[in-house]
């Protein structure tokens, strides 16, 4: 019985802390500093592609895809509802998996067009 109570206490603590953690992560992805860092990273990525002899059009497309990985992940995190009173750990995991798969399917279909 003690183990079950310990697990319950751990899950309760996680459910209290997880929303704040997610909010902090989303804030760090969409902050001014994160935007500057992403811009610097994208510029460095593009520069490396060009220095290796990559054609302009390919380098631009690859850089756009590079940046979209970060923006898509940030958008997925932003759209998740982690209300602890409504969702269990499995429900959160399932929702996260579903939204990631949907976003990837959306990205794949737009790349094919």
The tokens for 82 are: 């982690």
Tokens of 39: 């811009």
- Distance CA(94)–CA(87), nearest Å, equals 10
Q: Where are the alpha helices (DSSP H) in 30-88?
A: 32-51, 56-79
70-111 residue pLDDT tens: 777 767 766 665 555 555 666 766 677 777 777 777 776 766
* Contact between 55 and 61 (Cβ < 8 Å): no
Residues 73, 110: Cα–Cα separation, whole Å: 17
Domain count, the chain: 1
Question: Which structural domain, as residue segments, surrounds residue 82?
Answer: 2-112
Q: Which of 16, 18, 30, 32 is nearest to 78 (CA)?
A: 30
Q: With a threshold of 0.85, does the pTM exceed it? A: no
Answer yes or no: are the C-beta atoms of 77 and 26 closer than 8 Å.
yes
Q: How many residues does the chain have?
A: 113
Distances (CA, A) of 86 to 47, 91, 97: 46, 9, 18
List pLDDT tens digits, range 22-58.
Answer: 677 666 666 788 788 888 999 999 999 999 999 999 9
């Amino acid at each position: 019985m003690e183990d079950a109570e310990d697990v319950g206490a751990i899950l309760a603590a996680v459910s209290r802390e997880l929303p704040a953690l997610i909010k902090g992560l989303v804030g760090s992805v969409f902050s001014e500093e994160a935007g500057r860092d992403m811009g610097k990273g994208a510029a460095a990525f593009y520069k490396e592609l060009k220095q290796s002899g990559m054609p302009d059009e390919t380098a631009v497309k690859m850089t756009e895809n590079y940046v979209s990985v970060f923006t898509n992940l940030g958008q997925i995190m932003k759209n998740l509802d982690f209300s602890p009173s409504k969702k269990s750990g499995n429900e959160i995991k399932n929702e996260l998996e579903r939204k990631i798969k949907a976003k990837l399917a959306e990205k794949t279909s737009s790349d094919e067009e």
